[in-house]
Amino acid sequence: MSISLYQASVPSFIRMLGNLSEILNKAAAHAEAKKIDPAIFINGRLAPDMFPLSRQVQIATDMVKGCGARLAGVDVPSYEDKESSFPELQARIAKTIAFLQTLNPEQIDGNEQREIHLKFGSNELNFLGLPYLLDFVIPNFHFHLTTTYAILRHMGVDVGKMDYVGRA
């Protein structure tokens, strides 16, 4: 039995974004219970040269909305990247999930060879659909999810592995 490009992407992205949302809920509750300014968590980072938590969430959502759109051949939704609170980050996650839910298997399946071109400043990356998903999007998505988790765990939020992977 084979797995489709859609099955390997959209449902997993939605599930993991849901897990991320729950992790952020725990962080907000922790901040409230401990009387910690939530901005400390939103701006938290593991090292001075790393992006803060807010940017980690922004990049994670950008990865999957961009992937879904590119594989489906539709316009990538544009977000402003101005979130500075837990409610704003939650809204971004919800908006990303809502977008992903508009995509269907017929739009994505069969696009394993679709040419994907990404531009980052003066750099351009070129992929075919399947390697784009497997070798670029999935590792980057999980890197930023894991970094978000690690920032919060490092700051004392009571999250564990099951919060990250979720419960089926």
CATH of the domain at 111: 1.20.120.450
Q: How far apart are CA 107 and CA 50, in angstroms?
A: 36
Task: Output the six-digit token pair for 71.
Answer: 């594989």
Which structural domain, as residue segments, surrounds residue 121? 10-165
Q: Is residue 125 part of a domain?
A: yes
What pLDDT shows up at residue 19? 98
Number of domains into which the chain is organized: 1
Residues 75-111: pLDDT tens digits? 999 999 999 999 999 999 999 999 999 999 999 999 9
The pTM assigned to this predicted structure is: 0.96
Q: Is residue 5 part of a domain?
A: no
Residues 152-165: pLDDT tens digits? 999 999 999 999 99
Q: Is residue 15 part of a domain?
A: yes
Question: Strand, coil or helix: what is 66?
Answer: helix
What pLDDT shows up at residue 120? 85
